[in-house]
Amino acid sequence: MSLSGKNILLGVTGGIAAYKAANLTRLLVKEGASVKVVMTPAAKQFVAPLTFATLSQNPVLTEFFNPENGDWHSHVKLGLWADAMIVAPATANTIAKMANGIADNLLTTTYLSMRGKVFVAPAMDLDMYAHPATQRNIETLKATGNIIIDAEAGELASGLSGKGRMAEPETIVGALANYFESDQPLKGRTVLVTAGPTYEKIDPVRFIGNYSSGKMGFALAEAAADAGASVILVSGPVNLATANPKIKRINVESAQQMFEACTANFANCDAAIMAAAVADYRPANIAGQKIKKSDAQMTVTLESTPDIAATLGKAKRSGQVLVGFALETENGLANAAEKLQKKNLDFIVFNNANEAGAGFCCDTNRVTIIKNDGQQIDYQKKDKHAVARDIIAQLVPLLNNKQQ
Ligand code: CTP
């Protein structure tokens, strides 16, 4: 589905075309989007919030807070949640407020907090639409990066005929789908991502593991899927969920299982990003029964696990891109550069395990990317999702260049 996995915020204002927004909600949901609806007070005069709540399967937001219990409806959170906002119908009044930064209701306030693209579908009488003030406001909205879905000509609610009818819901959904499609540089690509730790069994109740949370790998899977890729996520034991239909998750426990899942899938992938913290050693023998305590010293003999990244590096075809991670505690950049060469990677993402706000467990990371042509890019500390987008942004041109 063309809007699959997208969060769409529909802003409904007080025009007669508000009834068409009900059908628009239905179409957006049908295309796979998660939809939340915010209405201006005037919009409620035209269509009851219950209609939108039922169609979107989400509570409709109309006020800054619920007067019954004081529950705060955060316009900032809504603005961060939404991948795109569509104001449909957009009255002359709301367009004027948006163009001038007036924030006097939840819809206009949310507009000012939006990080994603905003689409505006004007709907009004022909003279209001043609008025220089409205046209000036529409130009201002265009100039500030909003996408105007132009009104259509036809019969208007006033009985007059002319330009001012809101574009049909199908046209609006088409505009949103086109926008997201052109924003999908990995469309048609398959990306393998490894994530999380591995557990290496000592006996039926114990294992050797590490503190990897899987957050970086999962953020990479999401970022690759958002960029249009089909993702195969091979994950060690983690406490994270995946709902994105573009991500096929394969759960594994040990390095050997991760190795098998990766080698079975790599040939069909365009790129692989090895974000997992794979155990380098495993017990040479797994005790069949729980090892009992005794006074004697205890020794567990370890043997090497297969190096997944190095194996894929050897198997890599000319069109494939292989990305590794290096989590280091000392001589970081030098060790990372060595791994880059040894494992035949295209670039390596170095992060420092000793740095606060970087590495395994937290939601942020600070990375340096070292490419195999020696180029080095230092990034600021940021949320792992933003780090993932930076990594995907480096992957895309490499993939395109290799396949030219
Ligand atoms: N890696 C892998 N398979 C392994 C070990 C590591 O695929 N058995 C991958 C990791 O996912 C990472 C890269 O190789 O992308 C580097 O991992 P890291 O643990 O930093 O390096 P090692 O090669 O294990 O070396 P060392 O532990 O000595 O630093």
Expressed in angstroms and rounded, the spacing between residue 276 Cα and the centre of ligand 1 is 8
Q: Strand 152-155 relative to strand 161-165: parallel, antiparallel, unpaired? A: antiparallel
Task: Name which of 26, 18, 84 is nearest 54 in CA terms.
Answer: 26
- The pLDDT, as a whole number, for residue 1 is 52
Q: Is the CB of 274 under 6 A from ligand 1?
A: yes
Q: Report CA(394)–ligand 1 centroid distance (Å).
A: 21
Whole-angstrom distance, CA of residue 194 vs CA of residue 308: 10
Q: Which residue has a Cα nearest atom 18 of ligand 1? A: 326
Class of domain 190-402 as given by CATH: alpha beta
- How many angstroms separate the alpha carbon of residue 259 from the centre of ligand 1? 12
Range in 92-96, 217-221, 244-248 the model is least confident about = 244-248
The domain ranges of the chain are 7-182, 190-402
Q: 21 with 93: CB under 8 angstroms?
A: no
Q: Where are the beta strands (DSSP E) in 132-252?
A: 147-148, 152-155, 161-165, 190-195, 200-203, 206-208, 230-235, 247-251
The answer to whether 7-182 and 190-402 have equal CATH topology is: yes
Give residues with Cβ within 8 angstroms of 174, minimum separation 6.
none
Residue nearest to atom 28 of ligand 1 (CA): 280
Q: Which CATH number fits domain 7-182: 1.10.10.10, 3.30.499.10, 3.40.50.1950, 3.40.50.620?
A: 3.40.50.1950
Per-residue pLDDT reduced to its tens digit, 130-160: 999 999 999 999 888 899 999 999 888 888 8
Q: What is the C-alpha to C-alpha distance for residues 26 and 149, in angstroms, rounded to an integer?
A: 19
Confidence of residue 404 (pLDDT cuts 50, 70, 90): low
Question: Does residue 89 have a cis bond before it (omega within 30 degrees)?
Answer: yes
Burial 363-386 (b: 16+ CB within 10 A, else e): ebbbbbbbeeeeeeeebeebebbe
Give residue-wise pLDDT tens across range 198-241: 999 999 999 999 999 999 999 999 999 989 899 999 999 999 99
For the entire predicted model, the pTM comes to 0.69
